[in-house]
Amino acid sequence: MSAQTFPFAVRLLGFGPQEADAFDTAFAERQGKGFDYVRLDDDNLQDPDLHIAAASHLGALATLAHLRPSELRPALLIGQPAIQLDYPRIDIPFSWSGLFEVLDRLIERRADALSRLEASDVVTVTERRRRPRPDIDLTHPAEYEQLRGRIPANGAVLVIDKSSVSRDYLSELLARQRVPVLWATDEATAVELCRTIPMAVVMINTSTPGVDPYRLCWGIKEKDSPIKTTVILLLGNPAEYDRQQARYVGVEGFLNKPIANHHLLTVMKKYLPQTR
């Protein structure tokens, strides 16, 4: 087995903060000793390569059932579930070396499955929803409609950045779908564009001078419109992400810069109906 030059992205399900920290430490100590792994933050919109779920957490098991793991997006259970599930599993307590042996096997099987897909010209692996849909029986209908919103069928993409490079890059990437990609360098222009043009996605480079990404998201979301606009932050340093403030103003999540083409396309397919 040869070491990889990039880490495989892992999304944890049903683990607490201390357990997540333990995974982070183990992944960091593993670097350079085989396949490398990195844990995705809950709000990181990057496509995961695999899921690790706490078998005793019923919510995590429900999420897994919704995600429908496969060879392409494998899942590993840690612990003994209350019900019989057909997923790879390791018992508690476990050793980190034993965990990595199982993860490495899952990644190798994933690579084989991807190779078979590439040979058959089917190469897109999209991520399912990370959260279940809100249950209308548990939510007042008016609040449910407000939460759900309506994604514009032919919505545009707005990029807030100090230069037009990101706009030009996205325009080229989405040229086949003929998705309009606009550009703004300040908050006032961005809010005005969102008032006059149906925006499906707004991507804010958090290093743009004079732009407070959370204040801008609040301004975009506050406009009186049935259109559901997705706001994504582009971060140079994930540590700068304020999760509490982001959720308060309605940020959907973030992506780390630089962004790989396939990660960007996966996110666009989630929020742009015309790209599906």
pLDDT at 117: 67
pLDDT at 158: 93
For residue 243, which amino acid is it?
R
Domain 7-119 listed as CATH 3.40.50.2300 = yes
Task: At 126, give phi and psi (nearest 5°).
Answer: -90, 150
CATH architecture, range 136-275 = 3-Layer(aba) Sandwich (3.40)
User: Per-domain residue ranges for the chain?
Assistant: 7-119, 136-275
Whether 7-119 shares its CATH topology with 136-275 is answered yes
Question: At 1, is the pLDDT very low, low, confident or very high (cuts 50, 70, 90)?
Answer: very low
pLDDT tens digits along 192-237: 999 888 899 999 999 999 999 999 999 888 755 566 899 999 998 8
Q: How many CB atoms lie within 10 A of CB 83?
A: 7
pLDDT tens digits along 169-187: 888 888 777 888 999 999 9
Go through 4-13 and write b for each residue having 16 or more CB atoms within 10 A of its CB, e for each that does not.
Answer: eeeebbbbbb
Q: Is 253 helix (H, G, I), strand (E, B) or coil?
A: strand
| pTM, entire model | 0.67
pLDDT tens digits along 97-113: 999 999 999 999 988 88
For residue 104, which amino acid is it?
D
Query: DSSP character for 275?
Result: G
Q: Contact at 8 Å (CB) between 274 and 177?
A: yes
127 pLDDT exceeds 70? no
Q: Is 36 helix (H, G, I), strand (E, B) or coil?
A: strand
260 or 252: which leads in pLDDT: 252
